[in-house]
């Protein structure tokens, strides 16, 4: 998404919602839940994400702000004070279970 618009992005890893059952299954199989395909998820870019979250909540649609776009090309993922650069996805974590 950032590449398409020629922008960078900064995302807080802990703000990305992951269901508890997904975390438990991933722990059992030794997988990273952030490497899974997010079927049914939608990433939206808007000028004011918090206003959009509030409007969606009125329709009982769960949403959260996970980051923001930035000038430049850096795609950064923050995990507390650790800064990592986003890498292109390899394969879905679920496929790793059956390899």
Q: pLDDT by residue (tens digit) across 29-85?
A: 888 888 777 777 888 999 999 999 999 999 999 999 999 999 998 999 999 889 999
Q: If you count them, how many residues does the chain have?
A: 99
Quick check: helix, strand or coil at residue 83? strand
Sign of CA dihedral 7, 8, 11, 17: positive
Please give the pLDDT value at position 1. Answer: 80
**Alpha-helical runs (H) found in 20-61:** 20-29, 49-58
Phi and psi for 70 in degrees, rounded to 5? Answer: -135, 165
pLDDT of residue 55: 97
Cα distance between residue 69 and residue 72, in whole Å: 9
Q: Say what the pTM is.
A: 0.77
What is the DSSP-derived secondary structure letter of residue 73? S
Q: Which residue has the higher pLDDT, 35 or 97?
A: 35
pLDDT at 61: 94
Which pLDDT score, from 0 to 100, does residue 14 have?
Answer: 92
């Amino acid at each position: 998404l950032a590449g398409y618009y020629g922008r960078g992005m900064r995302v807080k890893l802990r703000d990305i919602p992951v269901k508890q059952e997904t975390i438990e299954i991933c722990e059992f199989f030794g997988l990273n839940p952030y490497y899974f395909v997010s079927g049914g998820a939608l990433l939206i870019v808007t000028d004011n994400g918090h206003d959009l979250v509030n409007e969606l909540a009125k329709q009982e649609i769960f949403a959260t702000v996970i980051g923001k776009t930035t000038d430049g090309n850096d795609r950064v993922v923050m995990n507390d004070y650790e800064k990592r650069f986003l890498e292109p996805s390899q394969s879905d974590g679920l496929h790793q279970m059956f390899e």
